């Protein structure tokens, strides 16, 4: 599989500077670029590699000014980081072969389930009663799709995904291996004798369009009603979303984060790894959490950046850190 610089430029809306017919086979990091690679420069920390990179094609932002000539063909783009994502997706689509044919002898599809055209259901997968699967959806081996589950079009469920009964998945959703959608929320009522009475979890999970759910991530079903992951949300590996939580559209949550029950996360939020948010809170749109931040109160102001546990505004945290870092502990 080879692509010319001009084909790539047309795909990403860029402008070629140099040889438009030079060909590339793969994408590489700029510090490891070799002939036949396409690389990108977006982080100032890697600027020195712009001038030493041996790649055939280099994606650069339109406003970046070269300090000296380079050998690579350049594609000028509005945003190099976004452009490389488009290039990776293009290459992936060219080399991946879409599977088809779901009536395999070693899977189980209920007679009352409906499976759309072009779907693939792998070996040892289970599709329950009255489940609905949209066209061109790919369900890899050993997946479990519970009764009455609804899955949209053009989804990909990698091996070992479990979707419990009644949950709803939108279009163009990717769920990575061993993720669990719709497991019971952590609901137990304390009794006078010190034991706990399980509270039945009778709700569902609803995941919107264009979401991506990482490997071993869990989204719990609601106690009553819905746990909601809105369209465009990206959840990393090993993320826990508890019962009745709402994750606003286009929010991204990095690995090992947890959102407790009934908390409402706004739109376009960014959570660094190992962050945690307590239950029954409201988090405003565009809130950013640095890694290992612990939020125990509502965040009302959109665009707030927080750090630390308990979380405080990032600027205040950095001022405080400058003081205690240099304190005399003798």
Active-site residue set:
243
Q: Please, are residues 150 and 127 in contact by the beta-carbon 8 Å criterion?
A: no
Q: Please, are residues 50 and 71 in contact by the beta-carbon 8 Å criterion?
A: no
Q: Please, are residues 279 and 263 in contact by the beta-carbon 8 Å criterion?
A: yes
Cα angle 215-218-224, degrees, rounded to a multiple of 5 = 155
- Give the alpha-carbon dihedral of 118, 123, 128, 130, to 10 degrees: 20
| DSSP-assigned letter for residue 226 | E
Question: What is the DSSP code string of 270-305?
Answer: EE-TT-EE-SS-EE-TT-EE-TT-EE-S-B-STT-E
CA 255/CA 235 separation, integer angstroms: 8
Return the biggest CA–CA distance within the chain: 78
CA 177/CA 157 separation, integer angstroms: 7
CA 29/CA 49 separation, integer angstroms: 10
Q: Please, are residues 183 and 206 in contact by the beta-carbon 8 Å criterion?
A: no
Q: Which two tokens stand for residue 43?
A: 């982080």
Question: What is the DSSP code string of 174-202?
Answer: EE-TT-EEEEPP--EEE-TTS-EEEPP--
Cα angle 129-157-136, degrees, rounded to a multiple of 5 = 80
How many CA atoms lie less than 13 Å away from 320 in the CB half-sphere? 10
**Among candidates 187, 142, 177, 182, which has minimal Cα distance to 166?**
182
């Amino acid at each position: 599989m080879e692509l010319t610089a001009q084909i790539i430029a047309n795909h990403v809306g860029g402008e070629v500077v140099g040889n438009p017919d030079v060909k590339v086979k793969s994408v590489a990091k700029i510090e490891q670029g070799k002939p036949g690679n396409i690389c990108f420069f977006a982080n100032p920390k890697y600027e020195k590699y712009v001038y030493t990179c041996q790649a055939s094609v280099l994606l650069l932002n339109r406003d970046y000014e070269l300090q000296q000539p380079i050998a690579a063909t350049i594609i000028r783009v509005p945003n190099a980081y976004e452009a490389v994502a488009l290039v990776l997706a293009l290459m992936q689509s060219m080399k991946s072969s879409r599977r088809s044919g779901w009536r395999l002898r070693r899977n189980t599809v209920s007679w009352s389930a409906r499976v759309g055209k072009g779907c693939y259901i792998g070996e040892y997968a289970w599709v329950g009663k009255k489940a609905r699967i949209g066209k061109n959806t790919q369900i890899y081996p050993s997946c479990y799709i519970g009764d009455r589950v609804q899955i949209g079009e053009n989804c990909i469920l990698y091996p070992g995904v479990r979707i419990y009964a009644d949950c709803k998945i939108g279009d163009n959703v990717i769920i990575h291996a061993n993720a669990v959608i719709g497991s019971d929320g952590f609901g137990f009522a304390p009794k006078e004798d010190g034991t706990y009475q399980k509270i039945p979890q009778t709700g569902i999970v609803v995941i919107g369009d264009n979401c991506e759910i990482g490997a071993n991530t869990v989204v719990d079903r609601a106690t009553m009603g819905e746990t909601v992951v809105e369209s465009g949300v990206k959840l990393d590996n090993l993320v826990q979303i508890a019962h009745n939580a709402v994750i606003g559209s286009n929010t991204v949550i990095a690995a090992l984060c947890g959102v407790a029950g009934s908390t409402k996360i706004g739109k376009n939020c960014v959570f660094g790894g190992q962050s945690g948010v307590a239950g029954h809170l409201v988090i405003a749109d565009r809130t950013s959490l640095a890694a290992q931040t612990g939020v125990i109160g509502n965040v009302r102001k959109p665009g707030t950046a927080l750090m630390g546990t308990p979380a405080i505004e990032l600027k205040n945290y950095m001022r405080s850190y400058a003081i205690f870092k240099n304190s005399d502990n003798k």
